[in-house]
Structure 1
């Protein structure tokens, strides 16, 4: 990755580092509680932790395969999609990064995503709905955003961030089974709370905190990708226009199609959600207003004010 092209934001980086630190501290604290609760049974702790880390590794290692299958997308060659490949070739040259595989999902839902366990195993995918609606400049802006995710290894970052939640979730399920089948633990004869009850409560609290921190980190990563992509192309107005079109056009997609794609919301450039605000603690993405505000500031930095009027949704694309 070319550090001079993918511009870093010191403030965003500091906030993301703080969230990762808190998630790490949360995981350490949770493991400490498990050790205290099951001091006489370290094998059980190792089993829960080993299975949890195995799940995390499996999801990360196969992230590209899972995402492509979820969207029923297929990889395309330069001969099959020459213009799309040409844009990605140009952006990868600008960013000095390996070229990812290129995919197309044949759906009217306008969106794009990037995933993969490393830049050398990444795939960038766009939908036909996005290609039909956006101009060439807007498609380039979206692809620059997605390539920023690849270059900054965001799939790895978010996978690591989810570790505490996954392990806590498994411990919660184990505690539920322990309670159902009568597991009371070493405190049952001393009048204290059953071990499984303590683990259940602590696991649920850990999972909830991890969930909100991970969503917060996800919103920071999206803002970072917006910023990096806008500086890479030098056209923040194109990304602003693309985000406005995509968000507006998603509202016209049937709810059945939106529900079928919601498992991919964390990967999409804009979530497949209609008729609800994104200004919530549980959102994977910042609100459109927040993203446009950041892009306006970037435009001011570059001396290129955002255009007052965005292209209307449904305008034919050029790719």
Structure 2
């Protein structure tokens, strides 16, 4: 974790570390399982390396891919002086390098941060969120996003997704192999089919567990960013108000527009989903109620400190 002035949360950090450890164990289990199922250590290593290569590409190009998906453009201090000024102040408070600043011309009220490192990061807001939030609310949102940058959450989530990427590759390969590669008869052909079926079962189990663990980790990192941003600005109520406005306004956005940004939901400060509950095991974000409860506790804590 980068050394910044964002207040750490040891409890959340411990839980995130445990999830990462479990995901790493799943990755090793999958590679070993492939090796035994298909009797080929070389193939297992190749699959593992290809999966890691895909994850590396996603991490390396995360800023470019995200900006392109949101049809966003980088803006200069001359084009967006108030937005740049706010980010300048927050970066000085957090003692972190300033990321690039982007704006997406979309009515969906949202924001995201991405990039392979703090030096290559970009914080992007939509024109919809700029129209709907006041200065303190927007500052709370930006502090949340800058926390993601400082804590290198894009790298964390990319590493976390590696087991799922490899498992998906193995699942597809085993399906095709079992369907088209079992033509040879005899013991050798039967053994090949059994091996492919074992690889399919192992990869499906690993993919399912990896999926739920990655979503759990994503929810933890959102709570951590809420907490870090609230303590940085000392205005948790402003972030709470921003979250309520953002989620409330989603109902007024056409479903067609929400669908176009579905792939970015894990990056957004709040998912671009209308009329859905985020409290399930598959959610990328904690429920609004859980986030508001945490911010209320922070507000009470700051009140006791100031008394």
TM-score calculated relative to the size of structure 2: 0.95
User: Is the partner of 2:112 in helix, strand or coil?
Assistant: strand
| Aligned partners of 1:2 and 1:95 also within 8 Å | no
Q: Which residue of 2 aligns with 1:80?
A: 79
Structure 2 unaligned regions, length at least 5: none
- Please show how residues 1-319 of structure 1 align to structure 2 within 5 Å: 1-3=2-4, 5-39=5-39, 41-183=40-182, 188=188, 194-303=194-303
CA contact 2:178–2:193 (8 Å) conserved in 1 = no
1:145 and 1:228 in contact (8 A); partners too: yes
Contact kept in structure 2, 1:119 and 1:150, CA below 8 Å: yes
Q: TM-score, normalised by structure 1?
A: 0.91
- Which of the two has greater helix per residue? 2
Instruction: Name the CA distance, whole Å, in 1 between partners of 2:153 and 2:230.
Output: 17
SS in 1 for 2:125: strand
Distance 2:233 2:279 in 1: 28
Change (3 A) 1:254 1:190: closer
What is the number of equivalent residue pairs in this alignment? Answer: 303
Deviation string, structure 1 residues 121-178 (Cα, Å, up to 9, x no partner): 0000000000000000000000000000000000000000000000000000110110
CA contact (8 A) 1:110 1:130 kept: yes
**Runs of 4+ residues over 4 Å off in structure 1:** 184-193
Give the CA deviation at 1:280.
0.4
Alpha-carbon offset, residue 42 of structure 1: 2.7
Deviation at 1:229, TM superposition (A): 0.2
Whether the 8 Å contact between 1:52 and 1:170 is mirrored in structure 2 is yes
Query: Please, which runs of 5 or more residues in structure 1 have no aligned partner?
Result: 306-319
109-118 vs 15-24, which moves further: 15-24
Q: Give the C-alpha shift of residue 50 in structure 1.
A: 1.9
Q: For 1:30 and 1:184, how far apart are their aligned partners in 2? A: 26
